[in-house]
Structure 1
């Protein structure tokens, strides 16, 4: 039970209620005997948090194995076990509620996304031709802006949001996620499996997180200015849409090239790639992201491009797999913590959730994304069932958490709780619908198996 004076948790043991010490540290078990002869002790809230995190992660990865021999789709379970674990801890949902502490959510999700983007760039084995990149270009240039506009329209007409709020919500929810979409992406370095369906979904997820940023900035600018003007549009076009995108791409390519030289060429007879240190992956993405942000470019674009450029610098060295595996492990750990925290925060967001927020998420997953994806892929080499799969499987996840936390940290948002409730519902819905079906659907149209400890490698590229 809670300490009424806010000093920590109260412990009942041997019939005695004992608060934690005033300095926030638990009382030692042997410090003060109780009147019944037993020792008095206390515990700290963050130890409970650690234990709940551990139990939630283990259950989420363990329980699906009773039902399937496949690598488990754990994203939805992480959210639900986070909810089940933290709803019973007094005050915990309010303590981790994202509206109250957006900066923490922003920083953790930011690190998770950039690590995921760097690893996504490392995954791509082949430098594709123009026809191979065309579906990706269509998804980025046609599908994503249409998705933003339609979400903004739904938010304005159905959820009663302002123009700026609807535009911001569209930019937050439009990008697909490089972190949660492992079942639909290409395989790790040197594994192959670069079917056009997987290639399109992988490269789209790698780039649209960064390309959504201009629209997030536009939504924030419209909210701050109280309306839209030609002057605002011109400044946004030159600075946010053109300059920052170009800087992100150029800086990412430069850092990727430099990392390639450092890892494989300098010095030639004692290259860093001969070591077993995968932590270079983290160092590389931090360098690419931090430098690009200092240059006022988009670090998300730089993170993906640097990984992609590094992969191009030396295509055959097995060290790429070591870098990828390290970044993937770190990405999975951060993702698990964020999804469990999102589930733990759901009770604090429930009072702000309504049918209009559910309608927005349902429209995005089942109508808007499939429709704009299908339209954008017209005339490309992806047709029939493959076109349907690419259109439908636009997974939502950690990128949306970051963008909303970023907006909440930098500007006072109207109805911020409602926006978080909508985003949380949409992510949960996506993890259930996409997470449970993506592996089967993509394998069916590509003929390639999901990779993992219990599965054979994916087949060669067709």
Structure 2
């Protein structure tokens, strides 16, 4: 007999499919009329469907009740989304963009990232009670990169096309793509020092010398340089192979369109096996793959890549809404909620704005102060921060002494989990609402001003009419009386004459005989009219 099968797979498919379908019905309204981002809407949907509300999405059950399994799922999910996003970010840039704009990118990725790291770390160090600066460096490194997923929502769509110049859009895309992969050196600088220097390097020998050696060799040489070389190689080989297949007509249109996404999956998998930086390799490969602009121009009018981009964005931010540790914001051993809120405000204002204003004159794409403010404010914290959060917790929980996580590593792990998740939520909400609030703040004063101006004009007209009412009425009455007189004259001329009698009128000379004259009397109503008295009857 048929029974309901309320297993997690069926519920997840129904929930995800239903949400995407309903959102699709009103997506244009939300995105192009209200300027709300997909990330914010998906995050709210994830909260609604999470165990904290409807309980349709149950992350703990998928992870078999293990916190470690749940973090691994989140890590792999973010790797997948970032890999696809970064390849597409590299593909959508014009040919030889990294070579042409290397000066601007060098400023943003060098001094820019370093300043963002230090500003974030100093704010965290100041706001979190009893938190060493070395620990703050680790937390600050997680939120240093700007997020390519949220950046795309800012530089795409009707608002961006109308208000953000195309060169500025491209430099934001390039920066957010490259700096996501360059977060490793900032993160592992603090984590290697924590492992080998903090608490006297308990359980690990070598001190600061070994920490810096590992940081230089494993992070810079193997993780960064090898990833760049590997990305260049894979991107160039893929481009040449696709050129060859297209010339021979071996590839159909569907496979041609999906090639960049398949390239992203290949890079994520192989870089994961090699232990290198898959994010940086994906961005470099995407840029080299479209070095001659051929693939970008060929796929410009197709919607497969934006469609995949949208599906991944909706899914990952729904997942974030479901797995975010919401209760820990109020109840944790790291930072009180009032300090956490103030920390979020300071990070959004100070993390990026000062360095952008300091460098904007040397970045050719930023031509005005308003554009500098825009670039400085819209440095979102999102999927990349959650990725580095997972990487850092995985590393920190392996720093053990006698089979237990070392005390300082445990403290940093808890702080990273609370602070980074809270800053991600803050960024999604604030950056997701910034454009609609800015539009409302621009239109509402204008609407009020127009309404007040209209009201004032109407009152002035009313007073003017009142002051001139007597003159206006007098003129109207004069015109009306004149019209009445004219009508009476016309009626009088057209009225039939009625001879009453014949009289004889003499001149007064007795010798001159009297002559007969007809006396004519017209209509009495016309003759006795008050406004136009008729002249006396003429006697001839």
Q: Pick the TM interval, shorter chain.
A: 0.7 to 0.9
Task: State which structure, 1 or 2, has the greater radius of gyration over its C-alpha atoms.
Answer: 2
Larger displacement relative to structure 2 (307-316 or 431-440): 431-440
Do 1:143 and 1:373's aligned partners in 2 also have CA atoms closer than 8 Å? yes
Larger RCO: 1 or 2 (CA < 8 Å, sep 6+) = 1
Alpha-carbon separation, structure 1, partners of 2:165 and 2:98: 13
Over residues 22-58 of structure 1, what are the superposed CA-to-partner deviations in whole Å (9 max), with x where a residue is unaligned?
A: xxxxxx646xxxxxxxxxx562244333333344445
Check 1:433–1:60 CA distance in 2 against 1; reply closer, same or farther (3 A cut).
farther
Over residues 353-374 of structure 1, what are the superposed CA-to-partner deviations in whole Å (9 max), with x where a residue is unaligned?
A: 7233323322221222111222
Q: Which runs of 5+ in 1 are unaligned?
A: 1-27, 31-40, 443-462
Q: Secondary structure at the match of 1:180?
A: helix
Check 1:167–1:273 CA distance in 2 against 1; reply closer, same or farther (3 A cut).
farther
Do 1:342 and 1:424's aligned partners in 2 also have CA atoms closer than 8 Å? no
Structure 2 residue 435 is matched with structure 1 residue 435:
no
Structure 2 residue 138 is matched with structure 1 residue 149:
no
Structure 2 residue 173 is matched with structure 1 residue 202:
yes
Shift of 1:61: 5.3
TM-score, normalising length: structure 1: 0.76
Alpha-carbon separation, structure 2, partners of 1:66 and 1:267: 39
Q: 1:37 corresponds to which residue?
A: none
Structure 2 residue 236 is matched with structure 1 residue 257:
yes
Q: Secondary structure at the match of 1:262?
A: helix
Alpha-carbon separation, structure 2, partners of 1:320 and 1:284: 15
Check 1:126–1:389 CA distance in 2 against 1; reply closer, same or farther (3 A cut).
farther
Q: 2:40 corresponds to which residue?
A: 76
Q: Which runs of 5+ in 2 are unaligned?
A: 199-206, 398-408, 440-540
TM-score, normalising length: structure 2: 0.66
Aligned residue runs from structure 1 range 28-427, under 5 A: 29=2, 43-58=6-21, 69-70=32-33, 72-86=36-50, 87-89=52-54, 92=58, 95=61, 99-100=67-68, 101-128=70-97, 132-160=101-129, 161-185=131-155, 195-227=166-198, 229-266=208-245, 268-272=247-251, 274=253, 276-315=255-294, 318-321=297-300, 325-346=303-324, 347-350=326-329, 351-352=331-332, 354-381=337-364, 382-383=366-367, 384-412=369-397, 413-415=409-411, 416-427=413-424
Q: 1:38 corresponds to which residue?
A: none
Alpha-carbon separation, structure 2, partners of 1:291 and 1:74: 30
Provide the alpha-carbon RMSD of the alignment: 3.4
Do 1:288 and 1:303's aligned partners in 2 also have CA atoms closer than 8 Å? yes
Q: Secondary structure at the match of 1:176?
A: coil
Alpha-carbon separation, structure 2, partners of 1:332 and 1:292: 24
Shift of 1:175: 0.5
Over residues 437-462 of structure 1, what are the superposed CA-to-partner deviations in whole Å (9 max), with x where a residue is unaligned?
A: 359989xxxxxxxxxxxxxxxxxxxx
Over residues 222-268 of structure 1, what are the superposed CA-to-partner deviations in whole Å (9 max), with x where a residue is unaligned?
A: 33224372431243124312443222222111111111111112473
Q: 1:35 corresponds to which residue?
A: none
Q: Secondary structure at the match of 1:312?
A: coil
Do 1:358 and 1:422's aligned partners in 2 also have CA atoms closer than 8 Å? no
Larger displacement relative to structure 2 (407-416 or 198-207): 407-416
Q: 1:4 corresponds to which residue?
A: none
Check 1:391–1:165 CA distance in 2 against 1; reply closer, same or farther (3 A cut).
same
Shift of 1:321: 3.8
Alpha-carbon separation, structure 1, partners of 2:437 and 2:153: 9
Q: 2:456 corresponds to which residue?
A: none
Alpha-carbon separation, structure 2, partners of 1:378 and 1:317: 31
Alpha-carbon separation, structure 1, partners of 2:128 and 2:391: 22
Do 1:119 and 1:328's aligned partners in 2 also have CA atoms closer than 8 Å? no
Do 2:79 and 2:268's aligned partners in 1 also have CA atoms closer than 8 Å? no
Larger displacement relative to structure 2 (238-247 or 51-60): 51-60
Alpha-carbon separation, structure 2, partners of 1:325 and 1:222: 47
Shift of 1:376: 3.4
Alpha-carbon separation, structure 1, partners of 2:174 and 2:29: 33
Do 1:200 and 1:390's aligned partners in 2 also have CA atoms closer than 8 Å? no
Alpha-carbon separation, structure 1, partners of 2:15 and 2:296: 40
Do 1:179 and 1:335's aligned partners in 2 also have CA atoms closer than 8 Å? yes
Alpha-carbon separation, structure 2, partners of 1:312 and 1:115: 18
Alpha-carbon separation, structure 2, partners of 1:438 and 1:311: 32
